[in-house]
Amino acid sequence: MTRTQKIAHAPMTLEDFRFSLGNGNWEYFARTGVSLDDIYASTADWAAALEGVDRPWLCWNVNPDWNLVQQRMVKSVGWTPVVGFDPRVGPPPVEPGSILIDFNARLKLPTMWMPFPMEFVHRFAPRMAFWHADLLIPEQKMRRIAVMFEALPDGHVIAAKPDTGIRDVFNAKGRRYWDLVGCTTRAASQDAFDKGAGWWMSFANHPSNSPEQRKRRAAYFWDTGTGIHYWHKQLGGQVSTIPEAYVKDGHFTGIGQKQYHRVSPRNHKRDLTRELSLNYHLVDCCRQLGLEEYL
């Protein structure tokens, strides 16, 4: 039994396979009815939408009010907000200068999370910055991060390095980088994809991997960003990191929060749209970080 089945507590259906794919997960890719050619047809649309955009920054909508604040913050540091969205919530209002892309227009998956397009940046953008939908960053730090992204050479990645405990120190196969905030470049994305170690979950099942590689890599952690960590540590990938602690004060998450009220499943059908505003008041969060002007 796979981890996804254990979480779902029920036999997997085609809908489950497609939910898992929308999360950005290779585990059941072959059983979804979606091919790489189908995804490549989508990436051609994304490339057309971003033609001539040098500094795109992905802002994934799970709540329109939060997304608008993120769009305004990205614009304030000279980058172009690229607005994607979970189909369960739909597109938010779009700020002047932002670019709305329905990344799911062709595929019609029941959900889509931000890592989905991140795996294929090499097919549609020279670089792509990204951050979690529940993350806000104080202005000074935001400016510093934007400068880091601007200076990032092609072939390199910037990713968040999670806070780790003593257990992680002795568990090399359980380590990962995080898509909390970061930036990837076209050449890095291409190299990671070709070597079967990108952003998606279950990187062992990447279609670029041989059966022998799949068997060996199956021992590694299943979650998002483990593949990028493996690419860095084992395959010569170039990764710089932003410590999670640097932006932690603005990460309005349920992780490690005992008082967090969950109203959606903790599996491939998780729906952050139902939880973010339930647990955090946007105005209070912006005030806490000195970001009232972006409301």
**CA–CA gap between residue 164 and residue 152 (Å, rounded):** 25
Q: What is the mean pLDDT of residues 246-250?
A: 97
Q: Answer whether residue 6 shows pLDDT above 50.
A: no
Tell me what percent of the residues of the chain surpass a pLDDT of 90: 83
Return the half-sphere exposure (C-beta side, CA atoms, 13 A cut-off) of residue 93. 8
pLDDT at 275: 78
**CA–CA gap between residue 150 and residue 21 (Å, rounded):** 31
Measured CA to CA in angstroms, residue 65 lies from 80, 92, 113, 250, 283 at distances of: 18, 8, 18, 16, 10
pLDDT at 264: 64
**Is 198 in contact with 148 (CB distance < 8 Å)?**
no
The conformation of residue 31, written as its DSSP 8-state character, comes to G
Strand ranges in 222-263 using DSSP code E only, listed in sequence order: 238-243
252-278 per-position pLDDT tens digit? 986 666 677 676 666 676 676 777 878
3-state helix vs strand vs coil in the chain, percent to 5: 40, 15, 45
Burial environment of residue 148 by CB neighbours within 10 A (0 to 12, 13 to 18, 19 or more): middle
Q: Answer whether residue 2 shows pLDDT above 70.
A: no
140 Cβ partners below 8 Å, 6+ apart?
none
Structure tokens at 279: 């647990």
Q: Is the pTM of this model over 0.85?
A: yes
12-26, 59-73, 134-148, 156-170: segment of lowest average pLDDT: 156-170
Name the residue among 101, 181, 84 with its Cα closest to residue 136.
181
**Is 238 in contact with 157 (CB distance < 8 Å)?**
yes
Strand order in the sheet with 80-85: 99-100, 80-85, 56-61, 127-131, 178-185, 156-161, 238-243
**CA–CA gap between residue 237 and residue 220 (Å, rounded):** 17
pLDDT at 1: 40
Q: Answer whether residue 203 shows pLDDT above 70.
A: yes
Q: Is 58 helix (H, G, I), strand (E, B) or coil?
A: strand
DSSP bridge pairs for 159: 241
Q: Answer whether residue 167 shows pLDDT above 80.
A: no
Determine the residue type at 123. R
Q: Is 78 helix (H, G, I), strand (E, B) or coil?
A: coil
72-128 per-position pLDDT tens digit? 999 999 999 999 999 999 999 999 999 999 999 999 999 999 999 999 999 999 999
Q: What is the mean pLDDT of residues 120-145?
A: 98
